[in-house]
Amino acid sequence: MTADTTSRTNPNDGAELFGLVASFDKIDEFLEAVTKVRDAGFSKWDTHTPFVVHGLDAAMGIKPTKLPFLVFGAGLTGCTAGIALQWFTNAVDYPFLISGKPIFSLPANIPVAFEMTILFAAISALVGMLAFNGLPQLSHPLHSSRLMKRATDDKFLISIEAADPKFELVKTHELLESLGPLAVEVVEV
């Protein structure tokens, strides 16, 4: 449920309020607004853009993700699993000689170990990305925001959650209005 943008009526009930959303048209203005929101000291806020906006991570002060470490670990696991699988099946559980070749030799086992490395790492990259992002999350208050509909199209949004300790409906609303947005919307839970 969304409130009208022009309506400043406070729902008075903090639990009912998710936060505020402001939308912007131009990247330059948007990035400037983002730095201002960051410098105002909010912690539970976010930006929503139709594509990856370069420089936005720095503007928001987002730290680098730990995803590469997860993927590296998964790749190592895959490699180990690949080698262990070949060693166990062909050298331990059912050893059989093929044209006098060694029962277990690394060169012959590289392709499968390599493919397993890639497979594990790639799956962990997607699953890890989704897990770190808390996706899939099919139900979220922002999905009912009217302005958010354009965040996958052509508008750039800033959302500030009411749960943020610095959030005060009137003051935060004024802050967002002062940044020159197209519109500001109150989003309820």
Considering only residues 98 through 137, tell me which ones interact with another protein, judged by CB under 8 A.
98, 101, 108-109, 111-112, 114-116, 118-119, 121-123, 125-126, 128-130, 132-133, 135-137
Helix (H) or strand (E) holding 30: helix 27-39
Is the bond leading into 68 cis (omega within 30 degrees of zero)? no
**Binding to another protein in span 26-85, by CB under 8 A:** 27-28, 31-32, 34-35, 46-60, 62, 65, 67-68, 71, 75, 85
Neighbours of 116 (CB within 10 A): 21
Nearer to another protein, 150 or 173 (CB): 150
For strands 17-24 and 183-188, give the pairing.
antiparallel
Q: How far is the CB of 65 from another protein (least distance, A)?
A: 5
Q: How far is CA 10 from CA 20, 171, 182, in A?
A: 12, 12, 21
Q: How far is CA 104 from CA 91, 95, 99, 113, 139, in A?
A: 6, 9, 13, 13, 52
Nearer to another protein, 47 or 172 (CB): 47
Q: How far is the CB of 136 from another protein (least distance, A)?
A: 4
**Binding to another protein in span 11-30, by CB under 8 A:** 27-28
Residue 62 in tokens: 């987002």
User: Strand pairing partners for 161?
Assistant: 19
Residue 115: what residue type?
E
CA–CA gap between residue 49 and residue 155 (Å, rounded): 7
Please identify which residue in 1, 89, 106, 178 interacts with another protein, judged by CB under 8 A.
89
Residue 143 interacting with another protein (CB under 8 A): yes
Residue 169 interacting with another protein (CB under 8 A): no
Nearer to another protein, 14 or 61 (CB): 61
Q: How far is the CB of 9 from another protein (least distance, A)?
A: 26
Residue 176 interacting with another protein (CB under 8 A): no
